[in-house]
Every structure is written in C-alpha cells, then in structure tokens.
C-alpha cells in the first residue's frame, strides 16, 4: 500500500499568521477617478477602465460621470456587454433624462443584438427631442436591422426595378438639377449685366451734367470778356464798376438844410417888367421908375392902398405897398394892334 504523503501524515497545514498577508493599500477614490478621466482623454482605454473601476469601487464622487466614461472605454474596446451594464446603470439612475446617455445605451444594445430594446431607448430620445438627428439615424439603422432579422427586404432600391432603371432615375434627377443650375446662373448673369448698364448710364448722366456746366461757365466767361469793357469805352479811362461800388459805399445823406423862402418881387418892379413885355417902355420913367397914374400923385409902388389902375397898360395892381402881387391882365378886346 502506498504510504500517505508526508504532509498529510503530519496533519493539516496550519493557517498562516496574519503577518504573512500584507495589508491592502487604501485606494484614493478621487485620485483614481482623475487618473481614469485623464487616461480616457489620452486614448488609454484600458487604463481608463482600470482606474475608473478602482475609483467606483472606492466610492468616488461623481459616480454617474465616472460610470459613463468607463462605458465609453468599454465601447472603444468592443466590450459591449460591459458597456451595456455601465450605460444601463446610468440611465436607471440620474441619467435617465440625458438624451446622450440614452442614445449611447441604445447603440450598446444594438451591438449586442437587442434591437427591440435599443429601439425603445431611441423612441424615448425622440419623444423628448423630435428633431434629434443622431436618434433619427439610429432609428433608421434599427429598422433595417429588425427587418433583416425578420427576413424582410432591406434594400430600398429593390422594389424600384433593376440597376438600369435606378441609374436612369439618378441621371434624370442630375440633369434636372443641372438645368436648374444653368437657369439660375443665366439669371444671375443677366442681373449683373443690367446692373452694369444702369451704373454706366448713371455715370454718363453725371458726366453730361458736368460737361453742360463747364460749357455754361465758358460761355459766361466769354460773354463777360466781350461785353464787360463796354462801360469803360469813351470815358477817358474811368472805371465805371469801381465808381459804382464807391457810390454804393457812400454814407446815406442826412436831412437837407433849410432853404431860404422865395424872394418876393415888389409891385413896382413887376409893373416895370410887365410894361416892357407889352411894349410900353415909353411909359417907364427915365431912370427905371414906374409910370405915374393919370392925374399925378407919385409912383405906383408908393400908393397907400386900394386899386391903382394903369389904363394905358391894362394891368391892374391889387393892394398897396411893396410886395403886392400882380393880377394877370385881361385879354384885349377887338383886333390886335398893328405891329410898330
């Protein structure tokens, strides 16, 4: 018979003392989380998984973000089941309203073949954001996957005919697009041409107006050169324009000085003038005196007053004394006397 082994004969192996097991080092949760985030940013996905796993095990702060980062690292490493676990935990917790986390969870489910579950998550995203482009694209992918899994036709062009028909449709659309592009290009060129013509016409009008103004100015200058010196002709060099300017600049005249009253002519002098005008100079006294009235009595200008009639002359002196005015003689009766 075989003898038992020596160690079994000696009895069971005594347990090792506590001193034989080194104590586990305490994990700094925050430091591990920071290291995992740095590794993920640097593309070290394995390091990110290692550090973030340690941080989550130590109860680090910000577990939602750390778990989502570890899920991204699992997706990069094609560890889809682990990614589904991380993203599922995120959406089951505080990340249930995050469209980005829901979409990542749906993509991870699609890679594991859970198309129906993935489609449900996509519909949750579209219910909150109907225009989410990535969710719409993921819905189309999932419909194709589900149709293929059910044995349905997934080629959208298969129902339209053969390759020739598809190519003809594509060519027709391309030709229509090219024709529309040519029409739009021709319209733009026509618009540019009209704009250039209008701009050129505008500048031509401006130039014509300037030329018209220049011609008018030259005509005025020629007229001034031709007719300007006329006022100076025959004036012995007098500058009429300068003289007119000086007259304009003269101060306005003040009040006129008082004029002397008109000088009164004595009646005797007026009588002598009247006798001379009527050809009765012989009645004048020698020495220039006035004629005496019939019956004697002195000069007519020395008469005291009243009326002094000079019958020979036919002139009547009204009033008396010096300064009386003469009344005009009445017109003679009968035929005019013969000339002497």
Q: What stretch of H or E contains 36?
A: helix 29-42
Exposure string of 130-145, with b = 16+ CB inside 10 Å and e = fewer, is eebeebeebbebbeeb
The token pair at 43 is 């593309």
Q: Which helix (H) or strand (E) holds 308?
A: strand 308-310
Place of tokens 């990340």: 95
What is residue 17's predicted lDDT score, i.e. its pLDDT?
45
CA distance 268 to 292: 11
Measuring CA to CA, which residue among 101, 96, 108 is closest to residue 68? Answer: 101
Q: How many domains does the chain have?
A: 1
- For residues 49 and 83, the answer to whether their CB atoms sit within 8 Å is no
Domain membership flag for residue 59:
no
Q: Look at residue 169 and tell me if it is in a domain.
A: yes
Q: Are 53 and 70 in contact (CB under 8 A)?
A: yes
Spatial separation of the C-alpha atoms in residues 162 and 198, rounded to whole Å:
55
Contact at 8 Å (CB) between 118 and 110?
yes
Residues 6+ apart with CB under 8 A from 308: 293, 300, 317, 320
* 145 domain residue, yes or no: no
Region of residue 288 (phi > 0: left; psi between -120 and 50: alpha; otherwise: beta): left
Whole-model pTM: value is 0.41
Residue 165 structural domain: 159-210
Neighbour tally for 270: CB within 10 Å:
20
> What does the pLDDT profile of the chain (340 residues) look like in tens digits?
444 444 444 444 554 444 444 445 566 788 888 888 898 899 899 999 998 888 888 888 888 888 999 999 999 999 999 999 999 999 888 767 788 899 999 999 999 999 999 999 999 999 988 888 999 999 998 988 888 888 776 665 555 556 677 778 888 889 889 989 999 999 999 999 999 998 898 889 989 999 999 999 999 888 888 876 555 555 566 666 777 777 777 766 556 667 776 666 666 666 676 766 666 666 655 444 444 444 444 444 444 444 444 444 444 444 444 444 445 555 556 666 665 5
Inter-helix orientation angle 63-76/99-111, to 10°: 30
Distance of alpha carbon 157 from alpha carbon 83, whole angstroms: 35
Q: Looking at the domain assignment, is residue 181 inside a domain?
A: yes
Strands 315-317 and 308-310, bridge-based pairing = antiparallel
Q: Measuring CA to CA, which residue among 99, 95, 68 is closest to residue 84?
A: 68
Q: How many helices (H) and strands (E) does the chain have?
A: 11, 2
* H or E, element range at 273: helix 267-277
The residue among 76, 75, 70 whose CA lies nearest residue 89 is 70
Residue 44 lies in a domain: no
Report yes or no on 206 lying in a domain: yes
Cβ count near 84 (within 10 Å) = 23
Residue 194 lies in a domain: yes
Contact 299, 268 (CB under 8 A): yes
Classify residue 190: in a domain, yes or no.
yes
């Amino acid at each position: 018979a075989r003898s038992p082994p020596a160690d079994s004969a000696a009895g069971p192996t005594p347990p090792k003392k506590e001193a034989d097991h080194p104590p586990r080092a305490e994990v700094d949760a925050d430091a591990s989380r920071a290291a995992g985030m740095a590794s993920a940013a640097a593309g070290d996905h394995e390091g990110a998984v290692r550090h973030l796993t340690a941080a989550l095990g130590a109860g680090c702060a910000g577990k939602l973000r750390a778990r989502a980062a570890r899920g991204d690292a699992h997706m990069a490493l094609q560890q889809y089941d682990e990614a589904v676990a991380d993203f599922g935990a995120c959406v089951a917790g505080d990340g249930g309203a995050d469209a980005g986390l829901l979409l990542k969870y749906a993509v991870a489910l699609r890679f594991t073949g859970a198309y129906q579950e993935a489609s449900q998550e996509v519909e949750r995203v579209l219910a909150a954001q109907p225009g989410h482009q990535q969710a719409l694209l993921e819905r189309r992918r999932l419909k194709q996957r589900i149709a293929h899994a059910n044995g349905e036709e997934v080629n959208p062009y298969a129902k339209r005919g053969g390759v020739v028909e598809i190519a003809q449709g594509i060519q027709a659309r391309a030709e229509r697009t090219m024709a529309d592009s040519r029409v739009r290009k021709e319209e733009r060129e026509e618009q540019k041409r009209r704009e250039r013509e209008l701009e050129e016409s505008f500048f031509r009008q401006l130039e014509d107006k300037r030329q018209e103004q220049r011609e008018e100015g030259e005509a005025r200058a020629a007229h001034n050169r031709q007719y300007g010196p006329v006022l100076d002709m025959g004036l012995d060099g007098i500058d009429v324009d300068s003289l007119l300017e000086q007259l304009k600049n003269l101060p306005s005249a003040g009040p006129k000085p008082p004029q002397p009253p008109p000088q009164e002519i004595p009646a005797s002098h007026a009588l002598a003038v009247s006798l001379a005008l009527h050809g009765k100079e012989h009645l004048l006294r020698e020495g220039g005196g006035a004629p005496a009235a019939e019956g004697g009595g002195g000069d007519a200008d020395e008469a005291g007053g009243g009326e002094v009639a000079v019958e020979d002359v036919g002139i009547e002196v009204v009033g008396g004394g010096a300064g009386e005015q003469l009344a005009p003689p009445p017109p003679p009766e009968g035929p005019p006397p013969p000339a002497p």
